[in-house]
A and B are shown apart, each in its own frame.
Chain A
């Protein structure tokens, strides 16, 4: 195998956690609120179903081809040329998605604290840092996530706790005024994010305890769902009806914190802490692209690819959208279809083909 490192299933779970949440916490509450309004806390629950679904599919596929990622077993399932084509689709897709993620990071940092810093510097510095981690391989990624995520999660929960004086639970009533439909409509965009659990397909082959992979994958989905629900509650209680109009509701919420009249305007600290989870997210995507490309080209080592692909990622992030408005518009509208069809549609197709083929034998 190209990657010699091994991670535990628990590390995979903790690795996937920021991979979904880092950017989901930025954009998703306000996009969800545009459809679901007061019921936005319900939407992540509906959306999580797709997370459970994709983890299940990927796990089943992995059981059939335990040592391979989707790039490798697609050629076994549907033949060499179509399989390679699917591999290419994934590489280009993740290049694009990671470009979007890096751009989201850059736009967020520019708008929240470093207003005059050129975007390219921010994007480039992040890609460079991630390249450093990706070169270390999957073990290093797993450990980095283990170091950062408990702290980041605790600080995030602390942020919500500090907001408690400003929270008004009345904002959630009346519940389900227009039935379930708004909350289900609102769950469409989070589904795009949760479909990113497809990335576990690339991590499953490196698990030291593969039988626990499904369990920790599911736990990770639950944790993501719970944190999204919690965030949406906090945002809803704080802002009520105006949530849908905010660009970064969590960041705006951070401005409300005032502790003993001394700790105020903590946006920059929140931003800096958030950067740690963004780093994990970008690195996981980056790693998957580099690894996938190496598998696609049948290389023996992925390390030489890290820097060239980093450069391409930088370009993709600059090309991802002309500005923040268009980016959020894309994320709020067509992105879900795009994310779900590639990340859920293709694996589902592959699994059904193997099942049909298996029955024939």
Chain B
């Protein structure tokens, strides 16, 4: 009985779970194109009824064979269509005996052409901007690679700027993005698997990895998780991110997002997988760790000592942005004895007129600051000046002289604000911004002990977190001494001989050892 139930369940499960977006499977069941051109015309007409942007052009090849050219206005290069398809085909001077096949072979001067067999194929090609040519008494249509639409050029990424380093960023067009990667990694080992997701948007997603470096199980897992997605549309890589995370209820990002091809390339070389989504400049990198979220691409372009120092600065400000408001609240409320007398006096003086307890004051200011920041992102350019003036008043001299907040609190909020902008990846900065508030409440309730309990809770959570099987805190916990060279420090490039342990185990060494530059080493010309 139980077995029957189980079998039945399996049957139900498999039938209800049939992916709607898997075009290849469906294509096999779809009716093929008809030999009769009129039938095809009728079919397409009914599919594209009320689509004013569709152009269906009826014409005669060499003045006798009926043919159809279908494309979407604005997605195809009309000039080239005229020049290389319509003009040569419509010429009447073709020899009488030449058959249609031969004409199609010889007259169309477009290199990227594909045969299409089914109606679904035709629709797909048209949607991608490739005009489709259907000819009477032919089983196959021809899709011509003449897509062209308005696109943004390669620009400097706004959210991840560097002083030294490439200035190009990904764009909204998948083709450009893949080409940016290919331009950096010329080896054919760079593989790009394409998947279509989205019932209506049919968004193209490319999984890029380097064969021989990335672990096959990882690639398979990424592919499986993406293929499992069944939703209306993918508008941004955030959709994919949220659907393939390991722990969907965590405030921490488990995939790295970047706009920079150099970051993506670096990750590929470490054995990670890059997921590019059509329609957004943000690509996803999996797996990721807390440490890699704290790195800036510039760390590798600057001198290693400076990079190491800047990393330490960044780590300490990471803690500051999380803890300073709550430490201020805790010490002011519970541990006044820690404050040196002179400082205590000046703090007490500035707090004399403040009607709120420290916790309320901190909350007020932090929320105001968050609001200002959010307003700063959303506001139209024209009103920017107004908001920054008002903002300076709200968090600043006016607020203190109004007796609503104390001057030290303004300092604390300002430092926290600056600290949270120091983190190179915005997504982890947001997580910290959010976690600041519960820790503030804990500190208001239990002082430094509460603060510590908050830290412990966060650490426990980080310890449970994994990104595609890689522990989020690696190589700190579980500890891997070998990988510390690129986490605690930024060791000189000639010492970074091995790839990170958990992603680069397939192909451990990334360069020849002992490459420390030394003028006495000599060489052929030495």
Is B340's CB under 8 angstroms from A264's CB?
yes
Does B476 sit at the interface, judged by CB under 8 A?
yes
B476 to A, closest residue via Cβ? A147
CA distance A148 to B460 in the complex (A): 11
Which residues of A262-281 are within 8 A (CB) of B? 262, 264-266, 268-269, 271-273, 275-276, 279
Is B456's CB under 8 angstroms from A279's CB?
yes
Is B338's CB under 8 angstroms from A266's CB?
yes
Is B473's CB under 8 angstroms from A143's CB?
yes
Is B459's CB under 8 angstroms from A114's CB?
no
25 pairs of residues in contact across A and B, judged by CB atoms under 8 Å: A7-B478, A113-B449, A114-B334, A121-B446, A122-B446, A122-B449, A129-B457, A132-B460, A133-B456, A143-B471, A143-B478, A146-B476, A146-B477, A146-B479, A147-B476, A265-B335, A268-B334, A268-B335, A268-B337, A268-B447, A272-B448, A273-B452, A275-B453, A276-B456, A279-B456
Q: Which residues of A contact B455 (CB under 8 A)?
A: 276
Q: Which residues of A contact B448 (CB under 8 A)?
A: 113, 268-269, 271-272
Q: Given A117-B446, A125-B446, A276-B452, do A144 and B338 touch, yes or no (CB 8 Å)? A: no
Is B463's CB under 8 angstroms from A143's CB?
yes
Does A261 sit at the interface, judged by CB under 8 A?
yes
Q: Given A129-B457, A146-B478, A268-B338, do A136 and B446 touch, yes or no (CB 8 Å)? A: no
CA distance A268 to B338 in the complex (A): 8
* Residue among B451, B460, B473, B479 making CB contact with A272, cutoff 8 Å: B451
Q: Which residues of B contact A114 (CB under 8 A)?
A: 334, 446-447, 449
CA distance A276 to B449 in the complex (A): 10
Does B36 sit at the interface, judged by CB under 8 A?
no
Is B446's CB under 8 angstroms from A129's CB?
no
Does A99 sit at the interface, judged by CB under 8 A?
no
Chain B interface size band reads: 20 to 34
CA distance A8 to B471 in the complex (A): 14
In angstroms, how far is the closest chain B Cβ from the Cβ of A101? 16
CA distance A147 to B461 in the complex (A): 12
Does A10 sit at the interface, judged by CB under 8 A?
yes
Does B464 sit at the interface, judged by CB under 8 A?
yes
Does A126 sit at the interface, judged by CB under 8 A?
yes
* Residue among B456, B459, B478 making CB contact with A142, cutoff 8 Å: B478
In angstroms, how far is the closest chain B Cβ from the Cβ of A115? 10
Is A132's CB under 8 angstroms from B457's CB?
yes
> A: which residues have CB within 8 A of B?
7-8, 10-11, 109, 113-114, 117, 121-122, 125-126, 129, 132-133, 136, 139-140, 142-144, 146-148, 261-262, 264-266, 268-269, 271-273, 275-276, 279
Q: Which residues of A contact B477 (CB under 8 A)?
A: 142-144, 146-147
Q: Which residues of B contact A276 (CB under 8 A)?
A: 452, 455-456
In angstroms, how far is the closest chain A Cβ from the Cβ of B252? 15
* Residue among B335, B340, B447, B463 making CB contact with A136, cutoff 8 Å: B463
CA distance A8 to B452 in the complex (A): 27
CA distance A8 to B464 in the complex (A): 16
Q: Which residues of B contact A10 (CB under 8 A)?
A: 479
Is B449's CB under 8 angstroms from A109's CB?
yes
In angstroms, how far is the closest chain B Cβ from the Cβ of A350? 32
Is A147's CB under 8 angstroms from B453's CB?
no
Is B464's CB under 8 angstroms from A113's CB?
no
CA distance A91 to B476 in the complex (A): 33
Is A144's CB under 8 angstroms from B340's CB?
no
Q: Which residues of B contact A275 (CB under 8 A)?
A: 449, 452-453, 456
Q: Which residues of B contact A8 (CB under 8 A)?
A: 478
Query: What 10 additional pairs, Cβ within 8 angstroms, besides A113-B448, A261-B340?
Result: A126-B453, A132-B457, A132-B460, A133-B460, A136-B464, A144-B459, A146-B477, A264-B338, A265-B335, A268-B337
* Residue among A147, A261, A265 making CB contact with B459, cutoff 8 Å: A147
Is B338's CB under 8 angstroms from A269's CB?
yes
